[in-house]
Structure 1
Amino acid sequence: MPLPQKSRSKKPLLYGSAVALAAALLGYASYRATAPGPPPASVGESARPDAGEYSEAAKLARREPGDPLALGRTDALVVLVEYGDFQCGYCGKFARDTEPDLVDAYVADGTLRIEWRNFPIFGEESEAAARAAWAAGRQKRFWEFHRAAYAEGAQEKGFGPERLTALAKEAGVKDLNRFARDLDSAAAAEAVGRDQAEAYGLGASSTPSFLVNGRPLAGAQPDATFTSAIEEAAEVARTGSAAPTESVTPVANPAG
């Protein structure tokens, strides 16, 4: 989903030349992902990644032990970072249809780590849902909250205060009083703000947006795009160069 115009005034942060390159590509990918016609299959299809191409952007992977907003080993070959909003329909589609397969295929064997970044761009309820997800994570229930919030039909019910409490209950959050305190805390606002600043600094203009070892992807991509990007990134991590592949092919956009 595209970024509302009022949020574009946030000043981007720059992390270095390679991150600036990723920012430009992610901004372009975000535009293409929301332009009329089929989304592109990937970003930078004409140039396969090498060991240094996205090395600086890849450093945005935090790999923090015990991070409740992450799945997988801290030393995984590949880190997929997702910048998402709980009111984003395409984020929900990815969470329901694609992410479970990636977990089964790549997280389980130690190849992939998935790190979530809260990137609320659709107003107050998005902000509240992001803080609530973080608060659920404080009790080790982030991914259960994530699953409940992205369940089929869940987004249509909104993310008001009572609904967030109901989602926390559904997620198995035990101490709801602590959940409420954490949700409204300065620490929650700071954590969400940190994630937002990172996304804005990368030029993200839609959700979901992704980095795969620093390589940008945006929008509702086909499952094969993620599979190809992860396998290429894993090959680069192992050998320093990507093996030739024909699985990522540009998709023509009839709207130009």
Structure 2
Amino acid sequence: MKLTRRTVLGTAAAVSIGAGVAGCLGSEDPPEPPVLGDPDADVTVTVYEDFSCQSCRYFKEEVFPDIDDAYIETGQIRYEHRDYPFLDDTWSWAIPCAAREIYKTEGNDAFWAFAADIYDYLGSYSYDAVETVANELDLDGAAAREAAEEESHRSLLEDDKSYGSSNGVEGTPAVFVDGDQIDLTETNPMVEIDAALE
């Protein structure tokens, strides 16, 4: 599945993400994550995000599209989203609560579309923005807004964060290829994915 207009943004060049991604450092049975690609692929790429993190936005807009084109669309990998509300502000919890409500009620594709488009409002998040983005995607904006306001999926997010911490996540975005965290300041994730596919 293509991520709306975002997919076009990062396809121009090989990714140099050290400066862009380094900025946001800071349970045994994790929740089922939203997944793209082949859910039964031999290689799994897991990305932990905080929707308040500028580096996560950079990753989603500039790095993800190349991964999507090369590996997700071709069915070579399982790509998992996990939440890690690292910055711990209101929107670190409210935005993923809205996204998880959409995942629960509208499905996987709707989740990924919302998770991409909501980044347009990073720096000016509001409950109105949550509702607007959902409505523009023909989703239930009122339900997404309510989930954000009430943080109705906070316990699920806490479980995801705990799972990430237990696996060594200390900041966002954090990218794992087959369970091994990669250093985004030194390595292009596509290099590690290629190696895992060999």
Q: Which residue in 2 is equivalent to 1:156?
A: 123
Q: How far apart, in 1, do the equivalents of 2:164 and 2:56 lie?
A: 15
Tell me, yes or no, if structure 1 residue 229 matches structure 2 residue 180: no
Secondary structure of the equivalent of 1:156? coil
Q: How far apart, in 2, do the equivalents of 1:176 and 1:103 lie?
A: 27
Q: Which residue in 2 is equivalent to 1:84?
A: 49
- The list of structure 1 runs, each at least 4 consecutive aligned residues, that deviate by more than 6 angstroms after superposition, is 59-62
Q: Which residue in 2 is equivalent to 1:147?
A: 116
Q: Which residue in 2 is equivalent to 1:210?
A: 175
Alignment of 1:16-95 (within 5 A): 33=22, 69-95=34-60
Deviation track 1:49-101 (CA, whole Å, cap 9, x = no partner) reads xxxxxxxxxx9998x6xx6x210111112111111011111111111111111
Shift of the 115–155 alpha-carbon distance from structure 1 to 2, 3 Å rule, reads: same
Shift of the 101–61 alpha-carbon distance from structure 1 to 2, 3 Å rule, reads: farther
Q: How far apart, in 1, do the equivalents of 2:52 and 2:145 lie?
A: 20
Deviation track 1:195-224 (CA, whole Å, cap 9, x = no partner) reads 1111121232211001100110244666xx
Q: Which residue in 2 is equivalent to 1:45?
A: none
How many residue pairs get aligned? The number is: 170
Larger radius of gyration: 1
Deviation track 1:151-194 (CA, whole Å, cap 9, x = no partner) reads 3xx21212x22221122223331x334334544364x1222112
- Aligned-residue sequence identity (percent) comes to 25
- Structure 2 gap segments, 5+ residues each: 1-21
Secondary structure of the equivalent of 2:70? helix
Alignment of 1:157-176 (within 5 A): 157-158=124-125, 160-173=126-139, 175-176=140-141
Secondary structure of the equivalent of 1:150? helix
Secondary structure of the equivalent of 2:123? helix
* Aligned residues: CA RMSD: 2.7
Q: How far apart, in 2, do the equivalents of 1:171 and 1:107 lie?
A: 22
Q: 1:103 aligns with which of 31, 54, 68?
A: 68
Shift of the 117–221 alpha-carbon distance from structure 1 to 2, 3 Å rule, reads: farther
Q: Which residue in 2 is equivalent to 1:130?
A: 96
Kindly provide the amino acid, as one letter, of the partner of residue 194 in structure 1.
D
Q: Which residue in 2 is equivalent to 1:4?
A: none
Aligned residues of 1:144 and 1:172 also touching (Cα < 8 A): no
Q: How far apart, in 1, do the equivalents of 2:190 and 2:164 lie?
A: 23
Shift of the 125–34 alpha-carbon distance from structure 1 to 2, 3 Å rule, reads: closer
Deviation track 1:18-41 (CA, whole Å, cap 9, x = no partner) reads xxxxxxxxxxxxxxx459xxxxxx
Shift of the 197–120 alpha-carbon distance from structure 1 to 2, 3 Å rule, reads: same
Shift of the 156–179 alpha-carbon distance from structure 1 to 2, 3 Å rule, reads: closer
Shift of the 210–219 alpha-carbon distance from structure 1 to 2, 3 Å rule, reads: same
